[in-house]
Amino acid sequence: MGCRALLWVVVAVSWLCIQARVLHSQGLLECSSSDSQALLDLMSNFESPVQGWGPNVSANCCDWAGVLCDGSTGLGRVVELALASKKLTGSLSDSLGQLDQLRFLNLSHNLLKSTLPESLLRLPKLQILDLSYNEFFGPVPASANLPSLRVFNISENSFNGSLPVWICTNLTGIQVLNLAVNYFSDVIPPGLGNCSSLQNLSLAMNNLRGGISEDIFTLGHLVQLSLQKNLFSGPLGSGIGSIPDVFQNMKKLQYFIIQSNGFKGSIPFSLSNLPSLKFLNLYNNSLTGTIVLNCSALSSLVTLDLGSNNFSGPIPEDLPNCQQLQRVNLARNKFTTPIPQSFKNFSSLVYLSISNSSLSNLSSALGILQHCENLTVLLLTLNYFNEELPGGASLSFPKLKVLVIANGQLTGSMPQWVRRCTRLQLLDLSWNRLGGMIPSWIGDLQSLIYLDLSNNSFVGEIPKEITRLSGLIDRNLSIASPDLQVFIRRNGSVRGLQYNRVTSFPPTVNLGYNALNGSIWPEFGNLKNVHILDLTRNFLSGSIPASLSGMTSLETLDLSYNNLSGSIPSSLVHLTFLSKFGVAYNNLSGPIPKGGQFPTFPSSSFEGTKLWDDNDPFHAGSQSHPGSVGQSQNHSRSANHAMSDISLGMTIGVAFGMAIGIVLGTTRISDSCLCEIIRFYARVKSSM
């Protein structure tokens, strides 16, 4: 009983509260007529009305969607406008300047396309301005007065001209300045120093050049500095004078990101001794000299990316003394020493890449690294040329999820120790000279999602155990390993860069370019998670199992250059994601299945076989079948043929052309792109 009474009290109180709020917003706050007019003006400059706005919704603009008013002056004054992701198009009206009580304006993720009205930069109370992800263009107006501003985010637009550092003059309290992904050009003009409270500064992905301006090094509160993908050059440090120790004033700097610029010289002493630093990304510059880092000082460092530079000398022995250091990329440099003994003590290490760095003595490297108890990702591609891949009776990597030792021309056979890496999700030993059979214990690697043993000399049958790997069967599994952060380029241009991360590799079985024989197990049909099955250039015989139609995620199926016989099972038309298909140069005969994705495959997919296309006497296999009649209706074939070209840019062009000219479904285009992206990955993986 007492309980029920209590419940009624709660209900009554809640009702009173709700009534009070309704009164507050509807009764007490009547939108001021000037604000009301300003919002109507704003709306009339958009190309379509804002949902939930206008006199039809309410005479009181404080009731409109995304509008928040404050009534402390008696009248309802607009203080917040939350209009993100409303599909707004058109331009921004000057009338915004009348909203002189506005504190928060969020217009991000719309399609607004105009220059910035000057009046917007004269709002005395504005604290947060978010215009990111639109199509605003032109220079930022040359004068501004936003004394209350804390956050200025205009990233992902098309602003150009020189960097609007002048806004700092009247913006002394600003904490976040995000100008990334625009077309700002030229050097950084002086003036950023007046933004003295700045914590996060991003100028990434513009066309800025010159050095880092001296002003930036005076910003003592800076936590994050992102300059990646510009045209910066010169020494890493001050752009003007030659003071090397510019980082010592930046006592709070945690994230320093200058990836993909043209910085030269060595790592400045003050940077290599910065205790606050957590994330240091100098990837893809032209830095030289020996890597000298003081790990006693770098006590917060978690991620270190020095890949794709011109560093030389020894791999720094001191690294294991960086107590927090988990992710290390040293790929694409020129080291003169092997992995040092001190790495036995590198217990915090989770991710290590030293691909393409002129390393030798793989046996010693593995012997050392097996002591790294937390090692999860190991990438050693393009090193150790012509050495033997150690069988390593005693080696063990209990936590390893990703192992890539490719492109080394390594000899030997499938190493026994790999069998004990029971958590392995990605195994890539491609482009070596490994021989013998692929052992049946591969079936012990139940987490395997990506297997690449292509371009070796493996013989014998494909072990049937591969068809029982749950990582390849369970559609919901993807590679989940610690990864290095990468930065994806401007909207839509090169989506492929995403494949620079191991975690975005598609589920794959690639055994191509070996000497495997026997037949394709019908049980391959169980592998519902596999996106790419590549068995090209082996000696496989027998027929193509109809059950392969069970591989419902399949995007690429390459069985070309084998001794397969029989016909193509018509069940394969059910593989709706298939965008690349190859059975060329086999003993196949019979009709090419109709339907599904088949009409989109180029004639080269079927070359060197006795297959025929009922509809296309000219583009069928090399021997056109006498019985075949009809006209070519597969315009897309030649277009698709071009997909085998390696240039990614071209692929996007071709895909785009197909989209317009041939009206293929969008999924198909992106899948085709995917294949190219994978090949693109093959080329970039040496830089990871």
Ligand X SMILES: *[C@@H]1O[C@H](CO)[C@@H](O)[C@H](O)[C@H]1NC(C)=O
- The binding site for ligand X (CB under 6 A) comprises 49, 54, 56, 84-85, 106, 108-109, 128, 130, 132-133, 137-138, 143-145, 151, 153, 160-161, 166, 169-170, 175-176, 178, 190-191, 193-194, 199-200, 215, 223-224, 255, 260-262, 273, 284, 286, 294, 296-297, 310, 341-342, 344-345, 347-348, 374, 684, 687
Q: Distance (Å, rounded) from C-alpha 225 to C-alpha 203?
A: 8
Q: Distance (Å, rounded) from C-alpha 310 to C-alpha 323?
A: 26
- Measured from the CB atom, the residue of 228 and 562 that comes closer to ligand X is 228
Q: Are 403 and 418 in contact (CB under 8 A)?
A: yes
According to DSSP H, which parts of 357-469 are helical? 362-369, 416-419
Based on C-alpha coordinates, what's the Rg of the chain? 31
Task: Provide, rounded to whole angstroms, the least separation between the CB of residue 597 and ligand X.
Answer: 32
Q: Are 184 and 207 in contact (CB under 8 A)?
A: yes
Task: Provide, rounded to whole angstroms, the least separation between the CB of residue 419 and ligand X.
Answer: 23
- Measured from the CB atom, the residue of 133 and 524 that comes closer to ligand X is 133
Select from 462, 441, 442 the least CA-distant residue to 450: 442
Task: Provide, rounded to whole angstroms, the least separation between the CB of residue 241 and ligand X.
Answer: 15
Task: Provide, rounded to whole angstroms, the least separation between the CB of residue 677 and ligand X.
Answer: 14
- Measured from the CB atom, the residue of 175 and 503 that comes closer to ligand X is 175
Q: Are 63 and 25 in contact (CB under 8 A)?
A: yes
Task: Provide, rounded to whole angstroms, the least separation between the CB of residue 623 and ligand X.
Answer: 45
Q: Distance (Å, rounded) from C-alpha 617 to C-alpha 625?
A: 7
Q: Distance (Å, rounded) from C-alpha 46 to C-alpha 225?
A: 35
DSSP state of 413: B
- Measured from the CB atom, the residue of 36 and 456 that comes closer to ligand X is 36
Handedness of CA 233, 196, 220, 324 (dihedral sign): negative
Task: Provide, rounded to whole angstroms, the least separation between the CB of residue 147 and ligand X.
Answer: 8
- Measured from the CB atom, the residue of 40 and 546 that comes closer to ligand X is 40
- Measured from the CB atom, the residue of 227 and 575 that comes closer to ligand X is 227
- Measured from the CB atom, the residue of 154 and 472 that comes closer to ligand X is 154
In 236-369 the beta strands, taken as DSSP E runs, fall at 255-257, 262-265, 279-281, 286-290, 303-305, 310-313, 327-329, 334-335, 351-353
Task: Provide, rounded to whole angstroms, the least separation between the CB of residue 78 and ligand X.
Answer: 17
Q: Bridge-partner residues for 352, per DSSP?
A: 328, 378
- Measured from the CB atom, the residue of 347 and 622 that comes closer to ligand X is 347
Task: Provide, rounded to whole angstroms, the least separation between the CB of residue 330 and ligand X.
Answer: 15
Backbone angles phi, psi at 343, to 5 degrees: -65, -15
Q: How many helices (H) and strands (E) does the chain have?
A: 8, 38
Task: Provide, rounded to whole angstroms, the least separation between the CB of residue 286 and ligand X.
Answer: 3
- Measured from the CB atom, the residue of 108 and 425 that comes closer to ligand X is 108
- Measured from the CB atom, the residue of 54 and 566 that comes closer to ligand X is 54
Task: Provide, rounded to whole angstroms, the least separation between the CB of residue 568 and ligand X.
Answer: 39
- Measured from the CB atom, the residue of 487 and 585 that comes closer to ligand X is 487
- Measured from the CB atom, the residue of 219 and 438 that comes closer to ligand X is 219
- Measured from the CB atom, the residue of 311 and 513 that comes closer to ligand X is 311
Q: Are 366 and 389 in contact (CB under 8 A)?
A: no
**Which residue of the chain is nearest ligand X when measured via CB?**
193
Task: Provide, rounded to whole angstroms, the least separation between the CB of residue 472 and ligand X.
Answer: 27
Task: Provide, rounded to whole angstroms, the least separation between the CB of residue 109 and ligand X.
Answer: 6
Q: Are 177 and 155 in contact (CB under 8 A)?
A: no
Q: Distance (Å, rounded) from C-alpha 196 to C-alpha 102?
A: 24
CA angle, residues 619, 625, 631, in degrees to nearest 5: 45
- Measured from the CB atom, the residue of 294 and 547 that comes closer to ligand X is 294
Task: Provide, rounded to whole angstroms, the least separation between the CB of residue 158 and ligand X.
Answer: 6
What is the CB neighbour count within 10 angstroms for residue 53?
22
- Measured from the CB atom, the residue of 158 and 563 that comes closer to ligand X is 158
Backbone angles phi, psi at 418, to 5 degrees: -60, -30
Residue with tokens 């599909």: 87
Task: Provide, rounded to whole angstroms, the least separation between the CB of residue 473 and ligand X.
Answer: 28
Task: Provide, rounded to whole angstroms, the least separation between the CB of residue 488 and ligand X.
Answer: 11
User: What are all long-range contacts of 471-476, with beta carbons under 8 Å and residues at least 24 apart?
Assistant: 471/425, 471/445, 471/446, 471/447, 471/507, 471/529, 472/448, 472/507, 472/509, 472/527, 472/529, 472/530, 473/526, 473/527, 473/528, 473/529, 474/528, 474/529, 475/528, 475/529, 475/552, 475/553, 476/529
Question: What one-letter code names the amino acid at 440?
Answer: S
Lookup: tokens for 239: 């752009």
Q: Give the CA count within 13 Å in the CB-facing half-sphere of 289.
A: 13
Select from 190, 113, 196, 182 the least CA-distant residue to 154: 182
